[in-house]
Amino acid sequence: MLQGKTIAITRSEEDSEEFVELVSKENAKPIPLPTIELVTKGEKIVDEFLESTKQYDPDYSVFMSSKAVKLLFDSSKKISMYEKLQLAVANTIVIAVGPKTKSALEAEGIKVSHMPKRFSSVGVGEVFTRLNAVGKKVIVPRSGASTPFLKTLLEKIGLNVKEIYLYDICAFRDTSQWNNFRQLFSQNKIDGIIFTSASSVRAFFEIMKKDYDEKTLLNNLQKTKIVSIGPFTSEELNKLDLQNTVADVHTVPGAFETIKNIFSLA
């Protein structure tokens, strides 16, 4: 049972509405932790994307996060390039990694043709294998902190891949919102943490090491139930020898169900 438990997630408050609602319904206490922030390249990302679609003429575009969608389309509105961007994306077959990304694209008037059953790079690879898209060209606008896994996977399948980096990531700088978490963490009163990306694992440690030495930090975390949203996040935690459970469904509700199951079996 989750009742009375304190569960943190490595996301900002504005990105955690769904999580807060799910945890609160179980009479547990949610703590959103803004862990990473985007360092955008500004409006030039729109020109770069449009120029790339013109030169490269991709058959497919793949969106790996709702953040990438929002950043690209919001930037285009600022420089009156929104319709041009819409057209450039709509001229490709669009693949969204998961439901949140699909909704973000549809909100911009973009038809999403495919979404994998597994909301991950592996799932995207499965979509392309099913489509038998050997020799086709793919454009992927995404974070500069992304691993090369997707590009390598798609190239192995026989696709030509061009990645465009829309933004970089750094550890969240204003950590005053962490004060409550720090206090509870030092008293071993954090029952569970959901890590939502490999970047958020790295940033979590960067932030927490300002107050704790690594040994104490790891000792405290070993007393906490940890859920990773997907395999890359899990891999990052495994590097630190932190036991974690990978969510069966790689979404926030999926991760929440996993942590709920852990406590119901405890």
The torsion angle over the Cα atoms of residues 221, 224, 229 and 230, rounded to 10 degrees, is 60
**70 to 66, 113, 167, 237, 253: CA distances (angstroms):** 6, 19, 12, 28, 21
133-145 pLDDT, tens per residue?
Answer: 999 999 999 999 8
The encoded tokens of residue 240 equal 């630190």
Domain ranges of the chain: 6-35+172-265, 39-170
Domains 6-35+172-265 and 39-170 share a fold: yes
One CATH from 3.40.630.30, 3.40.50.10090, 3.20.20.70, 3.30.70.260 for 6-35+172-265: 3.40.50.10090
Q: Has residue 181 got a pLDDT over 80?
A: yes
Q: Has residue 265 got a pLDDT over 90?
A: no
Helices 99-107 and 66-78, packing angle to 10 deg: 20
pLDDT mean over 109-121: 97
Say which amino acid occupies 252: V
pLDDT for the residue numbered 70: 97
Give residue for tokens 């906490």: 224
Kindly tell me the burial class for residue 196, based on how many C-beta atoms sit within 10 Å of its own C-beta (0-12, 13-18, 19 or more): buried
Containing H/E element for 208? helix 198-208
37-60 pLDDT, tens per residue?
Answer: 999 999 999 999 999 999 999 999
Kindly tell me the burial class for residue 241, based on how many C-beta atoms sit within 10 Å of its own C-beta (0-12, 13-18, 19 or more): exposed
Torsions phi, psi for 26 (to 5 deg):
-90, 10
pLDDT for the residue numbered 145: 86
Q: Name the pTM for this structure.
A: 0.88
| 109: helix, strand or coil | coil
123-136 pLDDT, tens per residue?
Answer: 999 999 999 999 99
pLDDT for the residue numbered 54: 97
DSSP state of 29: E
With contact defined as beta carbons under 8 Å apart, do 204 and 195 qualify?
A: yes
Say which amino acid occupies 255: A
Domain with residues 39-170, CATH architecture: 3-Layer(aba) Sandwich (3.40)
